[in-house]
């Protein structure tokens, strides 16, 4: 299956700083990528849909200015947590669809996740 790589796997940052997480589709071009957030022992909550060459679409309740998403190429989307605070500590997971697979609801391929800890 297609491979989605997420980097870094874990990061620790100081409160008030910004941190960038990368999501790459390694063997396919992804016009759409998705960013999820997972709190400990909870489900994955969709944060936003990242569209190549256009603005991301955020889910209700997600702060656009806090979580900046850029999808500059067909293989790379980035999530930047700006002015991070301890409550932003979480597990962030990206996913991507391969548009060549056909219709809209084909499976999405997930990255391995990034553990963010803000101290």
Which residues lie near other proteins (CB under 8 A)?
1, 6, 32, 34, 36, 41-44, 46, 49, 91, 93, 95, 97, 104-108, 110-113, 115
CB nearer to other proteins: pick between 69 and 93: 93
Strand-pairing partners, residue 11, are: 116
Strand-pairing partners, residue 93, are: 36
Strand-pairing partners, residue 58, are: 48
DSSP state of 89: -
CB nearer to other proteins: pick between 18 and 26: 26
As measured in angstroms, the least distance from the Cβ of 41 to other proteins is 8
Among residues 42, 10, 8, 3, which one has the least CA distance to residue 26? 3
As measured in angstroms, the least distance from the Cβ of 45 to other proteins is 8
């Amino acid at each position: 299956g297609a491979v989605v790589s997420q980097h870094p796997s874990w990061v620790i940052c100081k409160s008030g700083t910004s941190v960038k997480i990368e999501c790459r589709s390694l063997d396919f071009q992804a016009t759409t990528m998705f960013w999820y957030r997972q709190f400990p022992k909870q489900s994955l909550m969709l944060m936003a849909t990242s569209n190549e060459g256009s603005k991301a679409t955020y889910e209700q309740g997600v702060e656009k200015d806090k979580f900046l998403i850029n999808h500059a190429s067909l293989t790379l989307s980035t999530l930047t947590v700006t002015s991070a605070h301890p409550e932003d500590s979480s597990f962030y997971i990206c996913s991507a669809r391969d548009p060549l697979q056909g219709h809209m609801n084909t499976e999405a391929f997930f990255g391995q996740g990034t553990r963010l800890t803000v101290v």
